[in-house]
Structure 1
């Protein structure tokens, strides 16, 4: 159901529990079911080597993690054929991009000496405004950021050479992928856009080491979650830095703005990996963030899973948020106060400029009227309220009230002055 609004359309998804598939969705599921995939590390690495003509993956400790990713995919019995095709393509892409990263570093060893100078790093719970904040900061061209078209193909190949007909083949491929996703899940763009120019999370670089919480968004993988949370992520954050060095070598500058919600539960590793960073931590009523995550999962399940069951995201993501926020409460003080800005959602929506000034002051960057005007223009062009938004309904879709969720997060409200947002 769609309702008009003064700023933009409001979408209400009223078939969450019993999805009515479009012809395109049904056709995509039928077509994907005709393919089969060997989810094993041997098959994925062989496919990546065949694509690239390369064979050196660097340190091979990642294979243990890739093996577990594959095992978790095989064990999730409710993944749809579309999910299997998407995950296979993704795993091979990450392995191929790792080969290309290792190859360019061998050919240009000076890459590993490149300084990543005082990055601005945004972290916060998923669905707490981190994406929009990252986009605002990336509008400042003094900072290097990671658009989606580059995140999905960080090292260009010979096939990516610009031509008169296609000045950026990597952008063109990303656009084709975005159009395909939009056709299958047309309301997803109002929740999280994946257009070629949107600024990506740095999780795409961590995935080259086959770690991070990325897989948790694609499948139900408690075995991977437990492994990830119990293993030191220093190696993967080192690979993230390596990816940033490669991208800086290919196109500067070397002062980055990056973000990933996962950093919120990895603050000690983040601090060790990027000790001179400015850390920007966003905070929001967990109910608002969780409501959005549960609804995104359930909406996508019509195409990514063989059933739309609200118990799946309820049983996984509420507890997952709790773990993330518990770790943030536990570790927040490892960040130097003079390098850290805590951004509260209720303050951000009222007075973003003062918060931007604070971020820039701690980052040691001047924020003049011209840069601020550029950010204002970015906001005007990307304001979710103008583009349209999806209305979420906890009680109808999940049988939950805000208080049902919030009661488990008093520890977070006790530590940070977060305002209750969802009634």
Structure 2
């Protein structure tokens, strides 16, 4: 495949983030911190649900089993003492958004009960480590227009609200809001766009839909919430995954087709619930040296800490993320064999980078979806376009930034290398 194997005209320019430990705040960063510090935030059930009711004019949240989860979610956020005012404001707003979206979704289903009869036909589901290339694979597969995917603008506002109707000046108000939000974040944390390509049209993880039932690992990425982590990991996720399917049914009703491609790294640690919910899916499990993924996440977390944490401390992400990745991978190793072999493909990063075409053909074969010349041309075009965009890259340095070597980090993942033929990358 020419899009994956061709040589670049020039290597990406390496960027060293010199002020990771002692950030030098820009005017935009300081202004955001100052503005958010004036807004009182109360992580209470009543505050979240009442705000969502007022925003939507609706009152029916559906089954109330989510209330216990929401209570723990909010308690964990309140206990994050090092959370900055920006984090507290953003987390409250995000929680209200999920509650309001749930109200809109329940209202839609109440008005159109036929939604619950819609078939989600043999979805292709990608799971793999965070920060390891699953986003790229999801975007690639979504270039096949026979598959339904979830762009970011739709993920954060899946059910249109009054005022979202197209106009001559604004054909998609939901897209416009998503674009403005991303540009605001990019202006405040500009290196984020290099670490993780994004836009309003970016194909999103389905975690935004899982969060409507207030049960996912999402808030772990935005705050330090060990109470929530332990609670979430103790839960049977069958119910929340059923709610994910309900959301996909609603989105299919609003705009088909019903053959989805979705992804979330969380699926790696929730394979039993995933398989029970989507028994006819094709499961694509990606594998890569976890040290590379952890290294990327540590650096991203430390960079974002200038806005999200009161005190910037490399020990904070180092004390959390390697152990969290280990738990995710241990569950994947434990449960991988529950997936039917004829519906599952393990994709290894070193093989993918050499020649992705045979892997794509195997994904399509297992999905019983013809890989037509037209589809293959679209996939190649996606790869070519996204290769060309990579003009800069962040330089990661574990020893300089976190005082740990790749080999030291890798020791805790021996069980994973024993189970899957993953090649170490980071030295």
TM band (smaller chain): over 0.9
Equivalence map 1:128-207=2 (5 Å): 128-207=132-211
Which secondary structure does the structure 1 equivalent of 2:390 belong to? helix
Is residue 60 of structure 1 aligned with residue 64 of structure 2?
yes
Q: Which runs of 4+ in 1 moved over 3 A?
A: none
Q: CA deviation at 1:9?
A: 2.8
Is residue 227 of structure 1 aligned with residue 231 of structure 2?
yes
Structure 2 CA distance for aligned equivalents of residues 157 and 407 of structure 1: 50
Match of residue 110, structure 1, among 111, 114, 125 = 114
CA deviation profile, 1:8-55 (whole Å, cap 9, x unmatched): 332211111111111110111011101111211111000000000000
Structure 1 CA distance for aligned equivalents of residues 394 and 146 of structure 2: 34
Instruction: State the match for 1:244 in structure 2.
Output: 248
Instruction: State the match for 1:362 in structure 2.
Output: 366
Q: Supply the RMSD in Å over aligned alpha carbons.
A: 1.2
Contact 1:190–1:384 (Cα < 8 Å) also in 2: no
Instruction: State the match for 2:294 in structure 1.
Output: 290
Q: CA deviation at 1:172?
A: 0.2
With 66-75 and 87-96 compared, the bigger mean Cα shift is at 66-75
Q: How many residues align?
A: 420
Q: CA deviation at 1:383?
A: 2.6
Relative to structure 1, is the Cα distance of residues 387 and 411 closer, same or farther in structure 2, using a 3 angstrom cutoff? same
TM-score, length-normalised on structure 1? 0.98
Contact 1:8–1:385 (Cα < 8 Å) also in 2: no
Q: CA deviation at 1:373?
A: 1.5
CA deviation profile, 1:134-174 (whole Å, cap 9, x unmatched): 00000000000000000000000121000000000000000
Match of residue 12, structure 2, among 1, 8, 15 = 8
Structure 2 CA distance for aligned equivalents of residues 40 and 193 of structure 1: 34
Equivalence map 1:44-55=2 (5 Å): 44-55=48-59
Contact 1:7–1:385 (Cα < 8 Å) also in 2: no
Instruction: State the match for 2:269 in structure 1.
Output: 265
Instruction: State the match for 2:32 in structure 1.
Output: 28
Structure 1 CA distance for aligned equivalents of residues 109 and 27 of structure 2: 46
Contact 1:190–1:387 (Cα < 8 Å) also in 2: no
Which secondary structure does the structure 2 equivalent of 1:220 belong to? coil
Instruction: State the match for 2:398 in structure 1.
Output: 394
Q: CA deviation at 1:385?
A: 6.6
TM-score, length-normalised on structure 2? 0.97
Structure 2 CA distance for aligned equivalents of residues 7 and 89 of structure 1: 40
Instruction: State the match for 2:84 in structure 1.
Output: 80
Which secondary structure does the structure 2 equivalent of 1:159 belong to? coil
CA deviation profile, 1:110-147 (whole Å, cap 9, x unmatched): 00000000000000111111000000000000000000
Which secondary structure does the structure 2 equivalent of 1:342 belong to? strand
CA deviation profile, 1:190-228 (whole Å, cap 9, x unmatched): 112331000000000000001110010011111111001
Structure 2 CA distance for aligned equivalents of residues 286 and 7 of structure 1: 24
Q: CA deviation at 1:395?
A: 0.4
Which secondary structure does the structure 1 equivalent of 2:354 belong to? coil
Match of residue 336, structure 1, among 328, 333, 340 = 340
Structure 2 CA distance for aligned equivalents of residues 260 and 288 of structure 1: 18
Q: CA deviation at 1:369?
A: 2.2
Equivalence map 1:319-330=2 (5 Å): 319-330=323-334
Q: CA deviation at 1:413?
A: 0.5
Instruction: State the match for 1:42 in structure 2.
Output: 46
Structure 2 CA distance for aligned equivalents of residues 365 and 390 of structure 1: 37
CA deviation profile, 1:229-276 (whole Å, cap 9, x unmatched): 111001100000000000000000000000000000011111100000
Is residue 314 of structure 1 aligned with residue 318 of structure 2?
yes
Instruction: State the match for 2:6 in structure 1.
Output: none
Structure 2 CA distance for aligned equivalents of residues 40 and 384 of structure 1: 46
Q: Which runs of 5+ in 1 are unaligned?
A: none
Is residue 305 of structure 1 aligned with residue 309 of structure 2?
yes
Q: CA deviation at 1:387?
A: 4.0
Match of residue 212, structure 1, among 191, 213, 216 = 216
